[in-house]
Structures are given as structure tokens and as C-alpha cells.
């Protein structure tokens, strides 16, 4: 069989076509897996957004038990430490800017990081924003967001010295707090409203709407696999026809 394929000049085209088809089918299957993941995420977020806020201790206990706390509404009371705000690079739509992550000191001295929202690049520095920062204890409500556990391949390293953060590394954030000895929570809270501290940062910008296009992507990969099979079939038919004519 192999000898015949070599004689017809089909061995290498067949081999590479099989590899190509296998690769394209694998990409299609991967997109179907992504579709199932995206469906679960959409269902999770829609359900969580309808639930009542939980206090910080309940959320912490759920996290310790390994339960999924993503996007759950949470609430916490404390006083902002504006002197230790951190700047996390994350554009909003087409606008370049930063998210302002600020430590919220609880009554027992523990700290929860609050993503207070987005500011454009020109308002990154605190002195360029409103000077009337709220004092005293505040109750903050928002969505629970677990810290990222790994740095993505193309994500730059956090520049802690210059206060430029590119991924939400919880351990590094807590390590950046001077002389902090309290609990280290495995999550932060994205504030849902900026009414308590002026127009900036702009809170309530957490992405909670997701588009599922994975089925279309899967059809594209499967379609390319069928196309490759068809192209090889016509090519092989032509080679066989020429061989018989000779």
C-alpha cells in the first residue's frame, strides 16, 4: 500500500493531510469545550448577580472550603488606606487606563483589597483626582473576585517599585503593604458604586456580560477539516486518473 502511494506521489500529501485534519478537528473540539465552559460561566454570573450580598467572613469561609466564590455579591465595612492604593493596568473598552485597588482596613486590623474602579491614564495619580477622599468607616458592596494564581504568558511582570500592576497577584499585593501582619484573603472585591468617593474612580465596570461565539469557531475548524479532506480527495483522484491513462 505504501509503495503504491509513493508511486502515485500520494504518500506525503496523505500524511500531511491526515495531520492537518487531526489538528483542525482538535481545534474544533477545543472550541466545543470552551463553549461548555462559557455557558457555565454565563449561568454562574447571571445567578450570582441575583443573589444577596454576603459578609466578608462568610465569603472567607467559603473560600477556605474550596467553594466557588467568583462574582458573588459581597459587602464589607472598613476604612480606606488611600496612601497605599495600587494601580492595576486594565483598559476600559478602547480607553487606556488603570484600576485603583485600595486597601480597606477592617475593625480587627485585617485588610481587604477593594478595586474602586477605573481611571483614565491622565488621572492615574491620586493628586489629579478629587481631593475630598472620604474618611471614617464605609460599607462597600461589590463583586467578589479571586486573585489570579498564575501570571499569563504574555502578561508583563508587576512593577511593584513604581506601582504598576499588570496582574492581580494577591501575595504580592499583601507583601507590598508596610508591616502588615493580618489575614491574607484569597480574593478582592470590585466596588459596584463610586458614589461614596466622587466621580473617579469609576466603579461598577466589572465585566459581567459574555458573548459565546465558540460554536461558530468550532464550525469553522470542522469546516476547514472537511475542506482539506475534499482537496486531498480531488488531488488523489487526479493522480489516480493520470496513472490509469498512462
Where do the domains of the chain lie? 2-40+213-245, 72-197
* Interatomic CA distance for residues 203 and 193, integer angstroms: 5
Strands 54-55 and 111-120: unpaired
pLDDT digits (tens, 9 = 90+) for 104-154: 999 888 999 999 989 898 888 888 776 667 777 888 899 999 999 888 888
Which residue has cell 480527495? 233
Q: Is 189 helix (H, G, I), strand (E, B) or coil?
A: strand
Res 201 pLDDT > 90: no
**What residue spans of the chain are helical by DSSP H?**
2-8, 11-49, 56-64, 170-175, 214-245
Mean pLDDT taken over the chain: 86
Q: Provide the CB-side half-sphere exposure for 139 (13 A, CA).
A: 5
Amino acid at each position: 500500500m505504501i509503495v503504491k502511494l509513493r508511486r502515485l506521489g500520494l504518500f506525503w500529501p496523505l500524511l500531511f493531510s491526515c495531520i492537518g485534519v487531526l489538528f483542525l478537528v482538535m481545534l474544533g473540539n477545543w472550541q466545543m469545550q470552551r463553549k461548555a465552559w462559557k455557558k457555565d460561566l454565563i449561568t454562574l454570573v447571571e445567578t450570582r448577580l441575583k443573589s444577596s450580598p454576603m459578609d466578608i467572613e462568610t465569603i472567607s469561609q467559603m473560600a477556605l472550603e474550596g467553594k466557588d466564590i467568583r462574582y458573588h455579591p459581597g459587602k464589607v465595612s472598613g476604612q480606606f488606606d488611600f496612601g497605599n492604593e495600587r494601580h492595576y493596568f486594565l483598559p476600559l473598552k478602547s480607553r487606556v487606563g488603570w484600576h485603583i485597588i485600595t486597601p480597606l482596613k477592617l475593625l480587627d486590623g485585617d485588610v481587604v483589597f477593594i478595586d474602586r474602579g477605573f481611571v483614565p491614564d491622565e488621572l492615574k495619580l491620586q493628586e489629579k483626582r478629587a481631593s475630598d477622599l472620604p474618611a471614617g468607616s464605609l460599607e462597600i458592596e461589590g463583586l467578589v473576585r479571586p486573585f489570579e494564581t498564575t501570571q499569563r504568558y504574555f502578561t508583563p511582570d508587576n512593577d511593584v517599585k513604581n506601582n504598576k500592576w499588570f496582574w492581580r497577584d494577591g501575595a504580592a499585593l499583601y507583601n507590598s503593604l508596610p508591616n502588615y501582619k493580618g489575614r491574607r484573603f484569597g480574593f478582592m472585591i470590585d466596588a459596584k458604586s463610586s458614589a461614596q468617593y466622587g466621580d473617579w474612580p469609576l466603579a461598577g465596570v466589572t465585566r459581567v456580560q459574555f458573548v459565546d461565539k465558540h460554536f461558530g469557531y468550532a464550525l469553522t475548524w470542522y469546516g476547514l477539516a472537511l475542506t482539506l479532506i475534499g482537496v486531498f480527495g480531488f488531488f488523489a483522484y487526479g493522480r489516480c486518473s493520470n496513472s490509469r491513462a498512462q
